[in-house]
């Protein structure tokens, strides 16, 4: 492609609305342009990278045995009502109405449609397993779109759905997809980790996220320095605290703490530290008041509490709940509050000392509250948010927390959708069963942002060769002297020769200064840059630069096509 003909306008300055490097560089390099909040046009350079990433995904899905389909973006809202997810997605879902006043959803995902499709085609155990996937646009009405493609309202996604006869088959399908995802992200040049995750709106019992490590990532994940344990912060846990002998702290003592419902102010008032205080946090569990007990210096993991009481409906108490129940002393609840039906305690409360807790009456706390004497939890679980230095639940090593960009997610759904939407099969004895499903998503457009976050420097993007828009960037510097015609002719021969060898070349044939051409070459980030000017032509060489490392050398002009074609082939 000749840059003189390419639909491209690079920018020298960062756009005002771009907060992160990937957004800044993709706009400056002319890959995307904002249409409205969270919605972008893809320009030719960006579209080439997007197609390259999609092709890697397609290759690995096909290799893993999945079959490609195309499912509608506009989906009947009635299907979502059958699964119950219309309310779960709520305002995140774009809804449209046709002229006959029928409601449709712009697909945020496609479990309902694909399940209905398979249910209409397959009905026997002989039909299974089957795995269908698509690469299609999805829509979610994000409250606050930000970071360019990382939190967009329109995005390209690969979503796959497996249908099996039993859990053993589901595990095989899940494992095949998991392995395919590892190959996809490796080929895309990402540093990534697979982490245990919560299933969220998708549902199911088991799920894992693939996180591209990035300092600006919106998601935090926990990992062990000594083994392969990793989980997002919602699903992460730690090694339980062992039981210890408790020293009698003395008799329980009530202390006046007027207008002090917070941990830090109470600790300061009593001359102690937050880790010696106990929080009693109110949850509604199927209509019952349940207290989650954690040390004062730790935060409760709401997802862990919900998991402990699954499948009950669990939610944190709100101000409205406390207003409706004035008998509950907000900020002063103790672990032995009579109104609580159950208590669940984090294992870190197995400490040798007594605790400072709420006294179950406003403006009062109690000292020397002793486990096993004043209170005995109904249940124990790891319910605090994991922090750096906590012990790994697998090996006991120290845990770390990093940030990452979620680029993929795999789920074991079970029969949630097949039961709701009638996807059943008949076994060899004539009995009918719901199909067992898995679903597997990859954020194709989001991968681009993750790649740029990892592969850039102060000058621009440095694309991995596997997904670069072009393999070689040919910069021609003809100058203004008598040799300009010879440089132009030789550059044209080099361009044609590389293309004849199947090398994708971006040829900067513009009438622009060397400074502009070099700046654009670094900004656009092709893996190999070659420069041909009058001095090099006179010496019979072209200059080569590896964009990722900055390494430079000279290669013989007579053999340049063969050398560069071999290098491009080796990198792709």
| pLDDT number for residue 246 | 87
21, 152, 167 from 24: Cα distances, Å? 5, 15, 45
Same domain, 163 and 64: yes
Last residue in a domain, options 391, 423, 452 = 452
Residue 430 near residue 236 (C-beta atoms within 8 A): no
- Reported confidence tier of residue 199, pLDDT bands at 50, 70, 90: low
Please give, one letter per residue, the 3-state secondary structure of 198-260.
CCCCCCCCEEEEEEEECCCCCEEEEEECCCCCEEECCCCCCCCCCCCCCCCCCCCEEEECCCC
Residue 60 lies in a domain: yes
Specify the pairing of strand 67-68 against strand 130-139.
parallel
Reading the block at residue 257, the tokens are 């703490």
Residue 488 near residue 476 (C-beta atoms within 8 A): yes
Reading the block at residue 179, the tokens are 């392995």
Cα–Cα distance between 427 and 460 in angstroms, integer? 58
- pLDDT of residue 572 exceeding 80, the answer is no
Residues 76-97, mean pLDDT to the nearest whole number: 92
Same domain, 61 and 180: yes
* DSSP per-residue letters across 143-205: SS-BTGGGB-SEEEEEEEEEEESSHHHHHHHHHHHHHHHHHHHHHTT--EEEEE---TTT--S
Same domain, 162 and 301: no
Three-state DSSP at 565 gives helix
* Residue (of 530, 513, 528, 521) closest to 474 by Cα position: 530
3 CB contacts (<8 Å, ≥6 apart)? 506, 507, 508, 509, 510, 520
Q: How many domains, the chain? A: 3
| pLDDT number for residue 201 | 47
- Reported confidence tier of residue 203, pLDDT bands at 50, 70, 90: very low
Nearest-5° Cα angle at 493, 489 to 499:
145
| pLDDT number for residue 498 | 97
Same domain, 486 and 521: yes
| pLDDT number for residue 228 | 85
Cα–Cα distance between 190 and 177 in angstroms, integer? 18
- pLDDT of residue 83 exceeding 80, the answer is yes
| pLDDT number for residue 198 | 62
Lowest model confidence (mean pLDDT) among 67-81, 220-234, 292-306, 451-465: 220-234
- Reported confidence tier of residue 503, pLDDT bands at 50, 70, 90: very high
Residue 85 lies in a domain: no
Residues 268-286, mean pLDDT to the nearest whole number: 96
Residue 540 lies in a domain: yes
19 CB contacts (<8 Å, ≥6 apart)? 146, 147
Residue 162 lies in a domain: yes
Same domain, 375 and 258: yes
Q: Where are the alpha helices (DSSP H) in 281-398?
A: 302-308, 319-324
- pLDDT of residue 196 exceeding 90, the answer is no
> How does pLDDT run across 504-523, given as a tens digit for each residue?
999 999 999 999 999 999 99
User: What is the overall mean pLDDT for the chain?
Assistant: 94
Same domain, 32 and 171: yes
Residue 264 lies in a domain: yes
Same domain, 261 and 224: no
Place of tokens 């919560």: 198
Same domain, 430 and 505: no
| pLDDT number for residue 215 | 83
Same domain, 479 and 443: no
**Residue 207 belongs to a domain with what CATH number?**
3.30.930.10
Residue 116 near residue 82 (C-beta atoms within 8 A): no
Lowest model confidence (mean pLDDT) among 111-115, 166-170, 200-204: 200-204
* Residue (of 225, 222, 187) closest to 58 by Cα position: 187
Percent of all residues in the chain with a pLDDT value above 90, rounded to a whole number: 85
| pLDDT number for residue 197 | 74
Full residue range of the structural domain in which residue 441 is found: 21-68+118-237+401-452
Residues 137-152, mean pLDDT to the nearest whole number: 92
* Residue (of 217, 211, 212) closest to 231 by Cα position: 211
Residues 25-44, mean pLDDT to the nearest whole number: 97
> How does pLDDT run across 379-400, given as a tens digit for each residue?
999 999 999 999 999 999 999 9
Reading the block at residue 385, the tokens are 């948010």
209, 452, 454 from 404: Cα distances, Å? 10, 13, 11
Q: How many CB atoms lie within 10 A of CB 195?
A: 24
Cis peptide before 311 (omega within 30 of 0): yes
- Reported confidence tier of residue 202, pLDDT bands at 50, 70, 90: very low
Residue 319 lies in a domain: yes
Reading the block at residue 321, the tokens are 């709940």
Same domain, 271 and 330: yes
Residues 256-261, mean pLDDT to the nearest whole number: 91
- Reported confidence tier of residue 219, pLDDT bands at 50, 70, 90: confident
Residue 177 lies in a domain: yes
**Residue 537 belongs to a domain with what CATH number?**
3.40.50.800
| pLDDT number for residue 483 | 83
> How does pLDDT run across 225-234, given as a tens digit for each residue?
899 898 888 8
Same domain, 448 and 476: no
- pLDDT of residue 350 exceeding 50, the answer is yes
531, 543, 556 from 539: Cα distances, Å? 13, 11, 9
Residue 107 lies in a domain: no
Residues 12-34, mean pLDDT to the nearest whole number: 94
- pLDDT of residue 332 exceeding 70, the answer is yes
Same domain, 25 and 168: yes
Residues 249-278, mean pLDDT to the nearest whole number: 94
Of the chain, the end-to-end C-alpha distance in Å amounts to: 19
- pLDDT of residue 409 exceeding 80, the answer is yes
Q: Partners of 315 in the beta sheet?
A: 284
């Amino acid at each position: 492609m000749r840059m003189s003909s390419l639909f491209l306008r690079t920018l020298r300055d960062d756009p005002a609305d771009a907060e992160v490097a990937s957004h800044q560089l993709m706009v400056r390099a002319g890959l995307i342009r904002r249409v409205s909040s969270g919605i972008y046009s893809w320009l030719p350079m960006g579209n080439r990278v997007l197609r390259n990433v999609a092709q890697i995904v397609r290759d690995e899905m096909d290799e893993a045995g999945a079959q490609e389909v195309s499912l509608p973006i506009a989906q009947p809202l009635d299907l979502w009502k059958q699964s119950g997810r219309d309310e779960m997605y709520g305002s995140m879902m774009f809804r449209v109405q046709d002229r006959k006043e029928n409601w449709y959803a712009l697909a945020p995902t496609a479990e309902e449609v694909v399940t209905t499709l398979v249910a209409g085609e397959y009905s026997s155990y002989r039909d299974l397993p089957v795995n269908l996937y698509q690469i299609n646009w999805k829509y979610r009405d994000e409250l606050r779109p930000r970071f360019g493609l990382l939190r967009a309202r329109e995005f390209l996604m690969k979503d796959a759905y497996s249908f099996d006869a039993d859990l053993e088959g589901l595990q095989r399908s899940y494992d095949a997809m998991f392995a395919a995802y590892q190959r996809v992200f490796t080929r895309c040049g990402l540093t990534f980790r697979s982490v245990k995750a919560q299933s969220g709106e998708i549902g199911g019992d088991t799920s894992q996220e693939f996180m591209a490590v990035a300092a600006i990532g919106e998601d935090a994940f926990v990992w062990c320095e000594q083994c392969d344990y990793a989980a997002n912060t919602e699903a992460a846990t730690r090694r339980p605290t062992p039981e210890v002998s408790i020293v009698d702290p003395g008799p329980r003592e009530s202390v006046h703490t007027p207008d002090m419902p917070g941990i830090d102010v109470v600790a300061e008032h009593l001359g102690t530290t937050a880790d010696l205080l106990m929080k009693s946090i109110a949850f509604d569990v199927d209509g019952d008041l349940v207290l989650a007990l954690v040390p004062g210096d730790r935060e409760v993991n709401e997802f862990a509490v919900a998991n402990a009481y699954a499948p009950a409906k669990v939610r944190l108490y709100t101000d409205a709940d406390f207003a409706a129940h004035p008998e509950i002393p907000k900020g002063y609840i103790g672990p032995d509050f009579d109104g609580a039906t159950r208590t669940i305690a984090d294992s870190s409360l197995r400490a040798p000392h007594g605790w400072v807790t709420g006294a179950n009456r406003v403006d009062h706390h109690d000292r020397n509250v002793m486990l096993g004497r004043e209170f005995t939890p109904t249940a124990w679980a790891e319910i605090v948010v994991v922090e750096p230095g906590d012990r790994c639940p697998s090996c006991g090593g120290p845990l770390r927390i990093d940030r990452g960009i979620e680029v993929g997610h795999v789920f074991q759904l079970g029969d949630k959708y097949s039961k709701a939407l009638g996807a059943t099969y008949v076994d060899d004895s004539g009995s009918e069963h719901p199909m067992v499903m898995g679903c597997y998503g990859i954020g194709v457009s989001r991968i681009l942002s993750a790649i740029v976050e990892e592969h850039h420097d102060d000058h621009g993007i440095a694309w991995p060769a596997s997904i670069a828009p072009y393999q070689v960037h040919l910069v021609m510097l003809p100058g203004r002297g008598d040799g300009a015609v010879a440089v132009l002719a030789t550059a044209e021969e080099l361009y044609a020769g590389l293309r004849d060898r199947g090398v994708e070349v971006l040829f900067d044939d513009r009438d622009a200064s060397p400074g502009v051409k070099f700046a654009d070459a670094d900004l656009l980030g092709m893996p190999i840059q070659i420069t041909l000017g009058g001095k090099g032509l006179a010496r019979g060489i072209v200059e080569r630069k590896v964009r990722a490392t900055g390494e430079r050398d000279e290669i013989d002009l007579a053999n340049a096509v063969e050398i560069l074609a071999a290098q491009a082939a080796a990198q792709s």
